[in-house]
Amino acid sequence: MSPKKHKRPKHHPPTPGHDTTTETAPTRRPGRAPVVIPDPPDRRITALWTGLALLWALGTPLALAHLLFTFMDLQDTLAHTRADPSTPLPGDHINALGTALIWLLALALAVPLLATLLAALLRRKIAFFGFAAALTATALPLFLLMPPTELWHALTTHFSGP
């Protein structure tokens, strides 16, 4: 046995003249408080933020590439088949272009806007500021390239027809 364990003081029984009923409970030292360990964050909320951030970060460039490739396909079709400028544009290419625009707007604007509102409702400051920055980072260049009035006109034309 180690010397430390061997030399422990043993508990002595109370002396007969000592009254144990009047003893006070040992007092705590001032300044000591129990350590409160917070619960870990909910993994579902973390998965939600991660999913929305990935949807925005990966979906926006892919939707933009799809829009650009659809537009290039429309230009290629027009260059090969159109000799007369008065002929109407092919309807299937215009519908594909409108659908690509809707995907771009949904992934670039609607996803970060929805995530920003959800973060504000759930009172998550870091997620709120992150998704607000993402919304600003995509909305400003998009609206500089195509003003909101032109976007609205393109969407109403796509849904109602020319």
Looking at the predicted structure, is the pLDDT value of residue 19 above 60? no
Total domains in the chain come to 1
Residue-by-residue DSSP string for the chain: --HHHHTPPPPPPPPTT--STTPPPPPPPTT--PPPPPPPPPHHHHHHHHHHHHHHHHHHHHHHHHHHHHHHHHHHHHHHH-SSTTSPPPHHHHHHHHHHHHHHHIIIIIHHHHHHHHHHHTT-HHHHHHHHHHHHHHHHHHHHHS-HHHHHHHHHHHHH--
Asked whether residue 23 is assigned to any structural domain, the reply reads: no
Asked whether residue 144 is assigned to any structural domain, the reply reads: yes
Looking at the predicted structure, is the pLDDT value of residue 2 above 80? no
Domain membership of residue 66 as a residue range: 43-80+90-160
Instruction: Report in angstroms the alpha-carbon separations of 99 from 62, 107, 138.
Output: 14, 12, 19
Is 60:49 a contact under the CB 8 Å cutoff? no
Looking at the predicted structure, is the pLDDT value of residue 86 above 70? no
Asked whether residue 64 is assigned to any structural domain, the reply reads: yes
pLDDT of residue 51: 94
Looking at the predicted structure, is the pLDDT value of residue 150 above 70? yes
Report which residue type is found at 69: F
Asked whether residue 50 is assigned to any structural domain, the reply reads: yes
Asked whether residue 102 is assigned to any structural domain, the reply reads: yes
**Per-residue pLDDT tens digits for 20-70:** 555 555 565 667 888 888 877 788 888 999 999 999 999 999 999 999 999
Asked whether residue 120 is assigned to any structural domain, the reply reads: yes
Which range is least confidently modeled, 29-38, 76-85, 120-129, 152-161?
76-85
Asked whether residue 24 is assigned to any structural domain, the reply reads: no
pLDDT of residue 83: 62
Is 97:71 a contact under the CB 8 Å cutoff? yes
**Per-residue pLDDT tens digits for 101-141:** 899 999 999 999 999 999 999 899 999 999 999 999 999 99
Q: What angle do CA 101, 126, 114 make, to 5 degrees?
A: 30
Asked whether residue 96 is assigned to any structural domain, the reply reads: yes
pLDDT of residue 25: 56
